Chain A
């Protein structure tokens, strides 16, 4: 016997699954809260646990556009919010010289939306129906840029000196992701809901592999996931994420592996490069190690 709320959460979870994202129930509950309250959601977690996919699935699910802002060091207002189209403005000034209209109306013309280049953030708040705005890897920007985001994320408005304040027509669904490259400011955290995305447990990962690689035999899928889960327990530099699991599963399928026997282990050794991605880690994966891991699956 579930409460109404719980059935809503389960419903959202199922709809996410139909759109290709397998979420735990707790994540579904958080997403429901995000959708209802239209508050930004900050997702943290290791690389490759499917943070970005959440936004994509949400966009598919609500059948809206996904607007993505990939953050990088040195990202500034011009490439994230808006920029005036200066070349066109200059042309327009030249053309308007012959015009007899008063100066003030010319000026209004030049600083009108026609000459405004919308960058992702401005686009997100002026689009209807409300899109999903994905601000990816927010930790890669610098603190100055975070400060620009504050106005957007708390009031959903952007002030442009020449035009005035542009308010969101509809509040977009905002998803921020971070790998913890840099500590994000408390001011930004306070404005967001928070969810930590962990590496998936066995059941979830198996469900993901089955969903993404349906042609894989059930027994092999199980072994693959068990192997990857065991690899994550090891003391290695770069733990494989879900993306790596899927790559590896695809590689094994292509190499024609059906079970983890003697020949299967040869194939595993061949395809390890999809799973283990630093030199030191690869040096650690000798044949005996792989055999031991495979035997346990």
Chain B
């Protein structure tokens, strides 16, 4: 009897430690599943933190783990409920369910494969019979509506190789021109070269320490920043994917590019586009795409941009590139107001309208007419060929 109980107490601690270990490591895995950036070293560290803070004070444990495992504001906001879901057993199940039902949890792969069999053409969107009508070239004005669509877009074609190469080639040329372009600020600042002392001294060694040859410090080059605002509402559905691909290529090639999509509200997609893993990128976009191909409220979306991002993103070297057909269900005055405010802060606004390439196009839609006074360039671009024609104009405006 005695030996038995003795054995039991002996073996209990390691089991407990194991259980604890799996609990914390499991938690880190759970966070990762929910889109957190958690590495395996973080998991070990989480264990360490837990031991340090003591595991019996749930508040302290929560705060300490949060400081360790979060690395950005959106993770910070979601941490608490994930912590509850994992460590407070009764909540757990219910919460997982609400997450899957709501906009939170990643859409499962099963969903994707189901679409795979039903959809063939690259530009079609799931579950809309009217796509065929639009493919005829009549972009649907009736698609204009105030409601956000609850549908998620299918992003499988985002990484399709064939067109991607062609776009990449065009953008490579564009970026090269952009790099070589001399901005006004640089032209004006031609005077006042600075001596590079380190290199001058190196050069002076050959002359016995007399700095005969001077080396000049090279100026840091400042490049324009590009902010892309893509309209992904229903009336644009024919072109949205093309421009998404364009955005993905541009973000890969240039560092200072910031992309947003908008329909009835505005969503930042720069992070998702830049994800080096194409599958993760797709999943993240799928998450963000709630409302894809719904109604349009351009004015409200741009206003949201002004409110939340303009202060941080727009400066005197920013070029804002709006891609939209201008069919706006919102108030044109709101659009005008938003553009006026935006124009005051940035270098230029370029509006790419996929419809404008057509013969006989006039910017007659209410939204377009309202926007015109504030644009530096309004031009058509609906496919690669027209885009290549347009890019030199865009460059000349940027200059």
Contact = CB atoms under 8 A, between A and B. Distances in A.
A189 B71 contact: yes
Interface stretch (A82-90, A241-249, A267-275): A82-90
A147 interface: no
Contacts of B8: none
B37 A189 contact: yes
Contacts, number: 96
A33 interface: yes
B71 A192 contact: yes
Interface in B300-346: 306-307, 311-313, 341
Interface string B178-211: 0000000000000000000110110000000101
Contacts of B384: none
B310 to A, nearest CB: 9
Interface string B38-53: 0100100000010011
Contacts of B209: 93-94, 97
Interface stretch (A2-10, A52-60, A122-130, A285-293): A2-10
Nearest to B41: A190
B49 A33 contact: yes
A96 to B, nearest CB: 9
B361 interface: no
A196 interface: yes
Contact of B64 (A33, A74, A186): A33
Given A3-B54, A180-B73, A190-B71, A29 B37 contact: no
B385 interface: no
A193 B60 contact: no
A260 to B, nearest CB: 28
Contacts of A223: none
A26 B63 contact: yes
A42 B75 CA distance: 14
A178 B166 CA distance: 38
Interface string A194-228: 11100000000000000000000000000000000
A183 B312 CA distance: 10
B247 to A, nearest CB: 16
A237 B306 CA distance: 8
B220 interface: yes
Contacts of B271: 183
Contacts of A26: 59, 63, 66
Contacts of B57: 2-3, 5-6
B68 interface: yes
Contact of A36 (B52, B76, B200): B52
Interface string A171-193: 00000000111110010011011
A288 to B, nearest CB: 22
Interface string A15-42: 0000000000110011001101000011
A44 interface: yes
A30 B63 contact: yes
A5 B53 contact: yes
Contacts of B54: 3-5
Contact of A194 (B39, B76, B197): B76
Nearest to A26: B63
A143 interface: yes
Interface residues of B, number: 38
Contacts of B72: 44, 189, 194
A238 B77 CA distance: 21
A76 B60 CA distance: 39
A237 B305 CA distance: 11
B211 A90 contact: yes
A25 B59 CA distance: 9
A41 B72 CA distance: 12
Interface string A228-267: 0000000101100000000000000000000000000000
A179 B197 CA distance: 35
A104 to B, nearest CB: 14
Nearest to B270: A183
Contacts of B312: 179-182
A248 B385 CA distance: 58
Contact of A29 (B39, B64, B70): B64
B76 A196 contact: yes
B70 A9 contact: no
Given A5-B53, A5-B60, A143-B255, A86 B71 contact: no
Interface string B280-315: 000000000000000000000000001100011100
Contacts of B60: 3, 5-6, 9, 29
B56 A3 contact: yes
B397 to A, nearest CB: 23
Given A6-B57, A33-B67, A195-B67, A86 B201 contact: yes
A194 B68 CA distance: 6
B201 A89 contact: yes
B19 to A, nearest CB: 21
Interface in A113-166: 143
A195 B37 CA distance: 15
A90 B201 contact: yes
Interface in B56-89: 56-57, 59-60, 63-64, 66-68, 70-73, 76-77
A8 to B, nearest CB: 9
B65 to A, nearest CB: 10
B48 to A, nearest CB: 9
Interface of B: 37, 39, 42, 49, 52-54, 56-57, 59-60, 63-64, 66-68, 70-73, 76-77, 197-198, 200-201, 209, 211, 220, 255, 270-271, 306-307, 311-313, 341
15 contacts: A6-B60, A25-B59, A30-B64, A33-B52, A33-B53, A33-B67, A36-B52, A44-B72, A86-B197, A90-B201, A182-B312, A192-B71, A194-B71, A196-B73, A280-B341
Given A26-B59, A33-B52, A183-B270, 17 more contacts: A5-B57, A25-B63, A29-B59, A29-B64, A29-B67, A30-B63, A30-B66, A44-B73, A89-B201, A90-B201, A93-B209, A182-B312, A186-B71, A190-B37, A192-B71, A193-B67, A194-B67
Closest CB pairs A-B (n = 5) = A86-B197, A189-B71, A29-B63, A196-B76, A30-B67
